[in-house]
Structure 1
Amino acid sequence: MNIFNDNDDDKLDDYDALLNLVPRLPVATFDSYDPNIPPENGADYLRRVQLEAQQEPNIKVAEQFFVRKPKCYDYHVESIKENEFIRSLPAFEIHEQLIIPSVIESFLTLRQHIDDLRKKYADDNKLIKRTRKWWREYCFSYNNQSNDLKYKPENNYQTNIPRLSLLARISQKEICRLLCYHYQWLLEDDHDQYTIERGLWFYSLLAALDSIQPDDTYCLLRKITRLCSRIRNEFQIYLEENVKGNDDDDAKMAAAVDHIVDDDKCSILFQKLASLNLIILLVGYYFNQKDLLDSWK
């Protein structure tokens, strides 16, 4: 219901028109100013803002933003900056769109299992914060007698397989901290010491990590992905130099599997490549860092 009559509406329109003619705040009257001299009062400041606005064009076009595409490096990794993502060599390219559905499905199944364990242990006490030294000894010093892998570890230590019951009992903050520890340890050690068990730790920690994280956690995930791409590049260069397909061509490395049956090192490197690719794919697709993928364009 309108509580005003027509005469009142006319009065309101006149009042609005009058307000539009009257400045809301007093403004200085000068037509030029020295930008090196600060304004003396509010009116002086407002006039400067008006004059600066008059100097700007009515329509401004923003500079075009170009997304830098990752390059496919085909030279040794030492000549590349540490903060660069190194794409897979052409001979080792994988069909991401074909394998990613099954990868994500298995990953989501594991995440659901961890969530069920968290509900199961909800009434139990959370594990207290552990030191970096404690985690180092837990992850790498204990001998794992129930090793189901089909090859002997190359290193002088045995990696303790991550327990989901343990990951379900620690907080998100502790998971991020442990993920950072594993990244630091991999930086400190030689890249040859990367093992499938280490990759399993990264995989399990990613499965226990919430999908929504603060910026510093995403920064850590990107660092891990870049490091994985660097290690992967070293392995690929070694395999490309030591494994050749038929007629010495550069065919896919899968075609040369028959040539490496008796080469334990090459066989293990192929398994490590699969582990590294898995980490890169998960960070890229599940945690939405797709610019760190080989297929990014």
Structure 2
Amino acid sequence: MAWVPMESAVEELMPRLLPVEPCDVTEGFDPSELPRTPQEYLRRVQIEAALCPDVVVAQIDPKKLKRRQTVNVSPKSEDEEGWKKFCLGERLCAEGAPGPATNENPGIDYVQIGFPPLLSIVSRMNQATVTSVLEYLSNWFGERDFTPELGRWLYALLACLEKPLLPEAHSLIRQLARRCSEVRLLVDSKDDERVPALNLLICLVSRYFDQRDLADDPS
């Protein structure tokens, strides 16, 4: 079998859109100057094409990619610690103080601060997963203070619960409402920003899910 040059083989698979033969130009042709004739223009294109490498490798600085790209991959339903970190962030779960400030601007780091309950996330969760995550966060709330990140996720999960409730979900929301009432009693000021959020969660459980015995006394 006759040997075929690589360039010829490539041209057979991908023929040139505008086949052009080598152009004859005057001896005074300077490729650095603007072309004056069609022949000079075509010759300049041929020279530039010949200088292009067959393979181009991009030089990427890994430091510039660090923490700038976030892949939204939800944990498995049974991964309690994974869901706590996903919803509340590794910083809050570690109960550590924020690290020292730097000049680097990595953007929003959802791994550290937690993912918000976006519709694109909660809409993929079936009822079993919603109930499991609600249990994980309720367990967290049972031992710690109320935070905005926790409040957003509890509200979103309650909004995703379907009626009639599963038995385990029924128990969970009652536990959640009681915990909200306990934390609210410990708040020193009615102007505390936690109060409206706690009131909303109690109202959802007692009114929407028909747990009337847990509702606030209207008097």
Alpha-carbon distance in 1 for matches of 2:75, 2:108? 25
Partner of 2:81: 133
- Residue of structure 1 aligned with 2:202, choices 275, 280, 288: 280
Contact kept? 2:180, 2:202, Cα under 8 Å:
yes
* Secondary structure, aligned partner of 1:212: coil
Q: Deviations over 1:107-152 (max 9, x none)?
A: xxxxxxxxxxxxxxxxxxx9853511211221122688399xxxxx
**Following the alignment from structure 1 to structure 2, what is the Cα–Cα distance between the partners of residues 224 and 162?**
18
Letter in 1 for 2:84: R
**d(CA) in 2 for partners of 1:294, 1:129:** 33
Which residue of structure 2 aligns with residue 171 of structure 1? 126
Larger radius of gyration: 2
CA distance in 1, matches of 2:218, 2:127: 30
Q: In 2, distance between residues paired with 1:142 and 1:128?
A: 17
Contact 1:132 1:181 in 2 (8 A): yes
* 1:80-119 alpha-carbon deviations (Å, 9 max, x no partner): xxxxxxxxxxxxxxxxxxxxxxxxxxxxxxxxxxxxxxxx
What is the one-letter code of the residue matched to 2:166?
A: P
Q: TM-score, normalised by structure 1?
A: 0.40
Q: Distance in 2 between matches of 1:174 and 1:163?
A: 15
Contact 1:179 1:205 in 2 (8 A): yes
Mapped to 2, the partners of 1:216 and 1:199 lie a distance apart of 20
Q: Does 1:231 align with 2:183?
A: yes
Runs of 4+ in structure 1 over 2 Å off: 126-130, 140-147, 157-160
1:1-297 equivalences in 2 (<5 Å): 128-141=76-89, 145=108, 158-189=113-144, 191=145, 194-235=146-187, 238-239=188-189, 269=192, 271-295=193-217
Percent identity over the alignment is: 29
> Structure 1 residues 139 and 173 mapped into 2: Cα distance closer, same or farther (>3 Å)?
same
Higher relative contact order (CA 8 A, sep 6+): 1
Deviation at 1:225, TM superposition (A): 0.2
The answer as to whether partners of 1:175 and 1:205 remain within 8 angstroms in 2 is yes
Q: Secondary structure at the match of 1:202?
A: helix
TM-score w.r.t. length of structure 2: 0.53
Q: Tell me the distance in 2 between the aligned counterparts of 1:172 and 1:183.
A: 16
Deviation string 1:242-270 (CA, Å, 9 cap, x unpaired) is: xxxxxxxxxxx5xxxxxxxxxxxxx5x2x
Greater helix content: 1
Task: Compute the displacement of 1:280 (Å).
Answer: 0.3
Offset at 1:279? 0.2
Unaligned runs of 5+ in 1: 1-125, 148-156, 240-252, 254-266
Structure 2: which amino acid aligns with 1:213?
L
Report if aligned partners of 1:159, 1:198 keep a CA contact under 8 Å in 2. no
Distance in 2 separating the partners of 1:173 and 1:211: 13
Aligned partners of 2:177 and 2:157: how far apart in 1?
A: 14
Shift of 1:208: 0.8
> Is the Cα contact below 8 Å between 1:167 and 1:208 reproduced in 2?
yes
Alpha-carbon distance between aligned partners in 1 of 2:169 and 2:89, rounded to the nearest angstrom: 27
**Cross-structure match for 1:250:** none
1:199 to partner: Cα distance: 0.9
Q: In structure 1, what is the Cα distance between the partners aligned to 2:131 and 2:151? A: 16
Change (3 A) 1:145 1:182: same
| CA contact 1:225–1:292 (8 Å) conserved in 2 | yes
Residue type of the alignment partner of 2:154: F
